[in-house]
Amino acid sequence: MRRIECKDIISAIKKACMDANYYIPEDLVSTLKKRYEEETWPMAKNILERIKENIEIAKKEEIPLCQDTGMVSVFVEIGQDVQVTGGSLEEAINEGVRQGYMEGYLRKSVVKDPLNRINTNDNTPAVISYRIVPGNKFKMLIAPKGFGSENMSRLKMLKPADGVQGVKDFVIETVERAGANPCPPIIVGVGIGGTFDKVASLSKKALLRPLGERNKDEFYKDLEEELFYKINKLGIGPQGFGGKTTALAVNIETYPTHIAGLPVAVNINCHVARYKEVEL
């Protein structure tokens, strides 16, 4: 049995919250550079240049890339042979978020109650998902996500008869309706299958796949590429001012579902696609 101390989890989460808000993953930086080189519309090219500058300034000055430093989602993968000691795992994660947002001077955007709207003043609680796996590994993927993009996400319980065309139509309609609101260029996470709650989780997890990494199933790989092409043909462009660069990626994740259902969820992320993975 491998033991992991809560104090180490707190420290790792705290650092990850700050790093995720200061430093954009390299796969995103290289994708933005590629799209900049391929863009032909002058205004779109100019906006992509400003985005690249913002990334460099945030990295150099260690300041947030965006004023909306998000609500934190934490995906925990914990081995069956791991024992967390010295406290509660969930409390440790939230304490790490609290310390990271306080010490990193990150905006506190979480309210205690969705209707009473009183701020928690430390950006807790996080939204935590757990996956139990064999072995003694312990991984956490920390993903702060702003609500300009989160608010543009949608879920629909399609009928099986709607088929693949129904899925395509819903995804493209969702992006078109979102327009400039999620701060394009965007990453489009698509979940297909499972249940009402599972499909939403799939769509968010899809956002965290490295850019350029396609679905391993050839059918869904082709569907990702088709949707990517059609979304960029919409012409929304960076920040909604037109151009060829509306999406940086379309990622699809699937799960078995019931014979009577075809759940589909679309979770949109802005170009500030923040995440940090840590392993203890």
Write down the domain spans for the chain.
Answer: 2-20+65-145, 148-273
pLDDT for 212 equals: 86
Per-residue pLDDT tens over the stretch 95-138 = 999 999 999 999 999 999 999 999 999 999 999 999 999 999 99
Best CA proximity match to 13, nearest among 88, 74, 67? 74
3-state secondary structure the chain: CEEEEHHHHHHHHHHHHHHHHHCCCHHHHHHHHHHHHHCCCHHHHHHHHHHHHHHHHHHHHCCCCCCCCCEEEEEEEEECCEEEECCCHHHHHHHHHHHHHHHCCCCCCCECCCCCCCECCCCCCCEEEEEEECCCCEEEEEEEECHHHHCCCEEEEECHHHHHHHHHHHHHHHHHHHCCCCCCCEEEEEEEEECHHHHHHHHHHHCCCCCCCCCCCHHHHHHHHHHHHHHHCCCCCHHHCCCCCCEEEEEEEEEEECCCCEEEEEEEECCCCCCEEEEC
Quick one: average pLDDT of 226-245? 96
Tokens of 198: 């599972």
Average pLDDT along the chain: 96
| Dist. CA 210–CA 121, nearest whole Å | 32
Strand duo 2-5 + 262-269: pairing: unpaired
| Per-residue pLDDT tens over the stretch 248-271 | 999 999 999 999 999 999 999 999
pLDDT tens figures, 177-213: 999 999 999 999 999 999 999 999 999 999 999 888 9
Q: What is the mean pLDDT of residues 12-36?
A: 94
Q: Among 204, 66, 70, 67, which Cα is nearest to 145's?
A: 70
Query: Tens digit of pLDDT for each residue in 27-65?
Result: 999 999 999 999 999 999 999 999 999 999 999 999 999
Q: In this predicted model, what pLDDT tens digit does every residue of 134-153 receive, in sequence order?
A: 999 999 999 999 999 999 99
pLDDT of residue 236: 97
